[in-house]
Amino acid sequence: MAGSSSAFSFVLLVLLLAVWWPVAATAGSGLSVGFYRESCPKAEKVVRRIMAKAFKKEPGTPADIIRLFFHDCFVRGCDASVLLESMPGSMAERDSKPNNPSLDGFEVIADAKELLEKLCPSTVSCADILALAARDGAYLAGGFDYAIPTGRRDGLVSKEEDVLPNVPHADFNHDELVGNFTAKGFTLEEMVTLSGAHTIGTSHCSSFTDRLYDYYHDGVYGTDPGMPVAYAAGLKKKCPPVTSAHDDPTMVQLDDVTPFAMDNQYYKNVLAGTVAFGSDMALLESPETAAMVERYAAKPTAYWLRRFAAAMVKVSEMAVLTGSKGEIRLNCSKVN
């Protein structure tokens, strides 16, 4: 579909979601929608404005921020610990192997924090800025909006060794994925739903070159036979054999079809085998999760978007600090 028909469909989607989107007034975690309504009324508008500016300059910003958000919340909860810089003798999360150099978007959060400190000093937490920015990234890339509760406070601790045991890895098989997500309190459907975030964003070649060159099958090492030949050949042209992202900084789009759009193309790619991560193909390893992938691929994008929003809110409530716990950082990269 093109032209005015396409534009009408997009507007209709936004209107439908605005009408039907379920909005909770409060969350069981102690957070609440509109937490800054009195203390900093422009807080959410400021974050969205900063995100919109960054998105206009770099369309990959939503993917960067959503990934930053996930990697924060899956380690120590949503406390902005991923934003803290390493100190002498103490390596922080952002410098762990899964995060450095692949995580990006720190400067966007810093820009929002700097402006909010001028408007409302010592009021809006870095953890809330990151959660709001992730929501706004999904809005900018997908055209859908949803309410997210706020009231988080910032953590005081960030340890490099906490990352590997907690974040899902690109080479996880089905059982490892399920173990990771269920340990965090997510259902199988929420796991499949959140995996759809790979419909946008890029990856270093080192995250999947094992599937291209060192996949063990039938007694030999080579290319994963589950990869379509043409797709594997295309990735090999971009990605030579490497051992780490530092050896080869080449980045590839996770979704070649609609790389900057939050849509259900990811699930179609999984069914076709045209996904770089072994963890994405792992969703087809069980009939139950494979059926979920098929359902998301077959139904309109809005069907997945509604469930993705609900899952994002659940992620945002992971082990949050509220009340007098933690602090409100003045600088997101350093404790006060």
Answer yes or no: is 93 a known binding residue. yes
CA angle, residues 198, 181, 266, in degrees to nearest 5: 20
* Burial of 67 from C-beta contacts in 10 A (0-12 / 13-18 / 19+): buried
Q: Catalytic residue among 71, 169, 204, 217, which?
A: 71
Answer yes or no: is 210 a known binding residue. no
Judge contact between 269 and 195, C-beta under 8 A: no
Judge contact between 30 and 323, C-beta under 8 A: yes
Judge contact between 33 and 23, C-beta under 8 A: yes
Answer yes or no: is 287 a known binding residue. no
- For 289, list phi and psi in degrees, rounded to 5: -75, -30
Q: Is 217 a catalytic residue?
A: no
Measured distance CA(148)–CA(128) in Å, rounded = 10
Answer yes or no: is 263 a known binding residue. yes
Answer yes or no: is 107 a known binding residue. no
* CA-only gyration radius of the chain, Å: 20
Judge contact between 306 and 17, C-beta under 8 A: yes
Reported for 282-289, long-range contacts at CB under 8 A and 24+ positions apart, including other chains, are: 282/172, 282/173, 282/174, 282/176, 282/177, 283/174, 283/177, 283/192, 283/195, 285/173, 285/174, 286/174, 288/188, 289/174, 289/188, 289/191, 289/192
Answer yes or no: is 75 a known binding residue. yes
3-state secondary structure 46-97: HHHHHHHHHHHHCCCHHHHHHHHHHHHHCCCCCCCHHHCCCECCECCHHHCC
- Which residues are registered as beta bridge partners of 253? 202
Measured distance CA(8)–CA(63) in Å, rounded = 26
Answer yes or no: is 317 a known binding residue. no
Answer yes or no: is 128 a known binding residue. no
Answer yes or no: is 255 a known binding residue. yes
Answer yes or no: is 243 a known binding residue. no
Annotated catalytic sites, by residue?
A: 71
Binding residues for substrate: 168
Binding residues for Ca(2+): 72, 75, 77, 79, 81, 93, 199, 255, 258, 263
Binding residues for heme b: 198
Binding residues: 72, 75, 77, 79, 81, 93, 168, 198-199, 255, 258, 263
